[in-house]
């Protein structure tokens, strides 16, 4: 199984600026200015953050004239959520076994 896309997505979201961009774009497509205007980051830094998000497959950019619109890619966050749900289920099963063991020991 190739986990690189998932690894890249989690790494991209490790940065608070990039999480802020994704949170804004999750509300619906937005121009770069609307998605990043209140983040307090320089334009060159925004360009780098957007490149990381695009390379990780989290957002896509549509250019019409001079306007750049950002949107989430289909299924990118769903794949991450599914991975997290599997981890949660695994750990819950382990904790249930520990709870049962501790109950037996009482």
CA distances from 92 to 68, 86, 89 (A): 43, 10, 5
Per residue in 15-29, pLDDT (tens digit) is 999 999 999 999 999
DSSP structural state of residue 59: E
pTM: 0.81
Residue 1 is predicted with a pLDDT of: 59
Q: What is the DSSP string of 63-90?
A: EETTEEEEEEPTTHHHHHHHHHHHHHHH
Residue 2 is predicted with a pLDDT of: 66
Residue 3 is predicted with a pLDDT of: 76
Residue ranges, the chain, pLDDT below 50: none
Domains of the chain: 4-105 (1.10.10.10)
């Amino acid at each position: 199984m190739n986990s690189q896309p998932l690894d890249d997505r989690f790494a991209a979201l490790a940065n608070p600026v990039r999480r802020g961009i994704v949170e804004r774009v999750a509300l619906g497509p937005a121009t770069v200015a609307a998605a990043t205007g209140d983040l307090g980051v320089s334009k060159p830094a925004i360009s780098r953050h957007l490149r990381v998000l695009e390379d990780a497959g989290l957002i896509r950019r549509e250019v019409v004239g001079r306007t750049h619109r950002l949107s989430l890619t289909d299924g990118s966050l769903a794949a991450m959520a599914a991975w997290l749900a599997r981890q949660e289920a695994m750990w819950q099963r382990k904790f249930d076994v520990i709870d049962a063991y501790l109950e037996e020991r009482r």
